[in-house]
Amino acid sequence: MHVLLTGASGFVGRELCRRLLADLHTVTAVSRSPDRCREVLGVEDVVAWADLDAAFLKGIDAVVHLAGESVQGRWNAAKRSQVRTSRIEGTQAIVDAIRRAANKPGVLLSASGIGFYGCGGESTLTEASSAGDDYFAALCLDWEALALGAEACGCRVGLLRFGMILGQGGGAISAMLTPAKWGISGPLGTGKQWWSWVGIDDAVSAIIFSLTTSISGPINIVAPTPIRQSEFQRTLGRVLSRPAFLPAPAFVLRLILGTFAEEVLASKRVVPTALSEAGFTWAVPNLEDALARSV
Ligand SMILES: NC(=O)c1ccc[n+]([C@@H]2O[C@H](COP(=O)([O-])OP(=O)(O)OC[C@H]3O[C@@H](n4cnc5c(N)ncnc54)[C@H](OP(=O)(O)O)[C@@H]3O)[C@@H](O)[C@H]2O)c1
């Protein structure tokens, strides 16, 4: 299979690219910085976004679209705008190229997030649950709606609603590790909110599974075992042999993270119904094992 991959130089993209090449697929990456991307990935076939046109899609069987400004860090108005614009413009460019292409890829898998669901409290959230009403939920709705535009071209479209991806060298865990190693971690807010996570190896396996089966529509890419945030923190403390009792009150998180604090404080008890029903199996369904592979 020849896969066109955006965001290939990122945390998920690097691992996906490595696994696709190891499985003898062909990868063409799309990047803002092709030279840097070639260096990071060790592959030659990298194009700039500006060169992505309809003709370029000739021979491409599948598109995996992961690119977007990182959501990590303090969210002020400028950051919120970058997070949104990068996702809306990138997805629009991909769908426009597919629309114009004479030979269309059979499948588009487009990243999204469980931020789609907003704050779900104690409810169990499946792909059938409705969208939340906060900033990130609205962004996910718009981002997904654009990707679904490729269906009109006969493309199968999968919406990859990632939970918190755990692994080395990226994602939220990289920001949590330093304070946790110093023993200055603990419940965030009340700590009662649910967090839904997935190990990087399972996240990448789920993308490859979605490429090679006929699954479509929203796909929750999470482990089947969501956990309360305070228990997540205790498990991380156990893995690092460090205590995890220093709470970070909600108002402190809002001061440090801006709007992004709402993502950390929101309860998302998300389960992977679509993947389970399609027969996907998780290599690492246990949080302690996933964290041990991430530190
Ligand atoms: N990691 C998680 O826990 C998680 C959870 C939920 C959802 N997601 C979503 O899954 C996707 C992949 O996640 P990731 O962790 O691999 O992301 P990442 O490490 O931040 O990488 C994303 C890639 O997107 C490109 N990019 C960065 N800023 C951009 C901008 N302003 N405009 C256009 N492109 C930009 C970069 O590639 P180039 O520099 O080569 O262009 C970068 O390597 C993202 O859309 C993310 O929102 C991830």
Nearest ligand 1 atom to the CA of 67 is: 24
Residue 179 has pLDDT above 80, yes or no: no
Task: Name which of 172, 202, 154 is nearest 11 in CA terms.
Answer: 172
Mean pLDDT throughout 196-203?
98
Please give the domain boundaries of the chain with CATH numbers for all domains.
2-167+197-222+271-283 (3.40.50.720)
Q: Give the confidence band of 116 by pLDDT, cuts at 50, 70, 90.
A: very high
The pLDDT of residue 54: 73
- Name 294's Cβ contacts closer than 8 Å, sequence gap at least 6: 166, 167, 168, 173, 199, 200
Q: Which helix (H) or strand (E) holds 208?
A: helix 200-212
Mean pLDDT throughout 248-254?
80
> Which one of 4, 9, 41 would you pick to mutate in the ligand 1 pocket, going by the greatest count of ligand atoms within 8 A of its CB?
9
Question: Which of 105-114, 156-165, 236-245, 284-293 is predicted with the least confidence, judged by mean pLDDT?
Answer: 236-245
Whether 264 and 253 have beta carbons less than 8 Å apart is answered as: yes
**16 Cα–ligand 1 center, Å:** 13
> Which one of 4, 5, 11 would you pick to mutate in the ligand 1 pocket, going by the greatest count of ligand atoms within 8 A of its CB?
11
Task: Name which of 55, 58, 56 is nearest 47 in CA terms.
Answer: 56
The pLDDT of residue 1: 96
Residue 160 has pLDDT above 90, yes or no: yes
> Which one of 5, 12, 19, 85 would you pick to mutate in the ligand 1 pocket, going by the greatest count of ligand atoms within 8 A of its CB?
12
Nearest CA to ligand 1 atom 35: 68
Q: Give the confidence band of 68 by pLDDT, cuts at 50, 70, 90.
A: very high
Q: Give the confidence band of 281 by pLDDT, cuts at 50, 70, 90.
A: very high
Task: Name which of 169, 155, 176 is nearest 98 in CA terms.
Answer: 155
Task: Name which of 288, 147, 275 is nearest 210 in CA terms.
Answer: 275
Nearest ligand 1 atom to the CA of 164 is: 3
Give the span between the Cα atoms of 25 and 13, in whole angstroms: 14
The pLDDT of residue 75: 82
- For every residue of 13-63, which 3-state class applies, written as one string? HHHHHHHHHHCCCEEEEEECCHHHHHHHHCCCCEEEHHHCCHHHHCCCCEE
**245 Cα–ligand 1 center, Å:** 31
